[in-house]
Amino acid sequence: MPSLFRRKSADLVEDAVAEAAAPEAPAQPRRKGYTPSKQELGVVTPKRPKAGAVREAPPADRKEAMRRARQKQAAARAEQRAGMLAGDERYLGARDRGPERALVRDVVDSRRTVGTLFFSFAFVLLIISMVRTMPPAVGLAGNVIWLLLGVGVVVDGWLMARKIKRLVRERFPNSQERLSGLYMYAIMRSLSYRRFRMPKPRVSVGAKI
C-alpha cells in the first residue's frame, strides 16, 4: 500500500510540472504575420509625459529642495491673494462666501458711507485733544461733530439694512442666510476705507444694484 500512494503522488507531481511547462493555447487563432505587442511579451515601457508638460529635474541637495518648496508656497499665497481680491469663491473665507454676501458687498460699495468719515474724523479729534493750547470751544465742537457722525453711521446702516433686506428677498427668496448677519457684514464693510476692502469692490460708486 505505501508504494502505491508514493507512485500516485509522483504521478500527480509529474502532471503538475508538465501542465505548468506546457505553453498556453491562444484564445483566438492569430493571423499570418501577427506581431505580438510589448505587453504580451512582458516588456515594460515608461509612460510618456503629456504634451507640453516639462518634467522638473530632482533637486540637487536639501537646500535646493527647500528653496523650491518656498517658491511653491509663495506662488500659492500669491494665487490665493489674487483670487481673494477678485472675489473668487474658491479663495474666499467662510465670512465672504455666498451670493447673498456678494450682493451685500455690491450694496455697500455702490454708495459713499458715513463710516469712513466717522473714523477719519476720529483721528482729527485725537490730534485736537493732544494739543494743550487748543481752545476749549474747538474741542467741544469736535466732540459734537463726532457725535453727529456717529448718529449718521446708525442712520446709514439702517438705510443699507432696508435695501439689503429688500434685495435679498427679491433675488434669493429661498436663502438660508440670517439677515442680522448680513446687516452686520454690511456695517463692518462700510466702516473700512474703500481702497482697503477685501474682496475688492467690483462696482463703482453710484452704480445701480
Looking at residue 165, its pLDDT comes to 95
Looking at residue 20, its pLDDT comes to 47
Segments making up each domain of the chain, as ranges: 92-196
Looking at residue 183, its pLDDT comes to 94
pLDDT tens for residues 40-97? 666 666 666 566 556 777 777 787 778 778 877 787 777 777 776 666 677 677 888 8
What single string gives the DSSP state of each residue in the chain?
A: -HHHHHHHHHHHHHHHHHHHHSPPPPSSPPPTT----HHHHT---PPPPPTT--PPPPPSSHHHHHHHHHHHHHHHHHHHHHHHHHT-GGG--TTT-SHHHHHHHHHHHTS--HHHHHHHHHHHHHHHHH-TTS-HHHHHHHHHHHHHHHHHHHHHHHHHHHHHHHHHHHH-TT----HHHHHHHHHHHHTS-GGG-SSPP-S-TT---
pLDDT tens for residues 68-83? 788 777 877 777 777 7
